[in-house]
Structure 1
Amino acid sequence: MPKLDFSNEDQAAIVAKVQDYFLTEFELDVGRFEAEAMLQFFAKEIGAHFYNRGLYDAQAVITGQIDAINDAIYQLEQTPGS
């Protein structure tokens, strides 16, 4: 999986969410450096699972659209000699 590059603003927002989560759920005050390290760890270790799920979901949507197009084309078919 290619490395995910977040904008500085997006990374700061994600890191803040990690920090908020640990403070709220575990009453742990996690620093920015630690939160960034956790983010990198999770992205590396489980990011591919979420990425692949997104691909499968996109594929399902596209397949559904192709099926709808095929049905529409089938409805346009004409019987020879009619």
Structure 2
Amino acid sequence: MSQITFSKNEKELIVRKIQLYFSEELQQKIGQFDAEFLLDFISQELGAYYYNRGVYDAQEALAAKLDDIRDVIYQLEQHTDFQR
């Protein structure tokens, strides 16, 4: 897996959200540098866990769709004397 990175605009948005969280929930002010440092830490140390969860969810969604497709194909099958 490649390193998780964000565009400049995405990073700015996430940093603002971190600062807002600290302000509203923890009643603490956190500067932009510290918020960026925290974001980098979370991305490097925890990002893979969230990424993998997304991969697992995508696999489950795909498996469910494949089951639906198998059912539709099975319904198209016509009766013959051949056995599987």
TM-score in same-fold range (> 0.5): yes
1:2-81 mapped onto 2 (5 Å cutoff): 2-80=2-80
What secondary structure sits across from 2:22 in the alignment? helix
Unaligned ranges ≥5, structure 2: none
Q: How many residues align?
A: 81
Unaligned ranges ≥5, structure 1: none
Q: Distance in 2 between matches of 1:44 and 1:11?
A: 14
User: Residues 24-80 of structure 1, C-alpha deviation per residue, up to 9 Å, x if partnerless?
Assistant: 111111010000000010111111110000000000000000000000000000112
Runs of 4 or more, structure 1, over 4 Å off, are none
**Over aligned residue pairs, what C-alpha RMSD do you find?**
1.0
Relative contact order (alpha carbons < 8 A, sep ≥ 6): 1 or 2 greater? 2
Q: Quick one: which amino acid aligns to residue 51 of structure 1? A: Y
What secondary structure sits across from 1:38 in the alignment? helix
How far did residue 5 of structure 1 move? 2.1
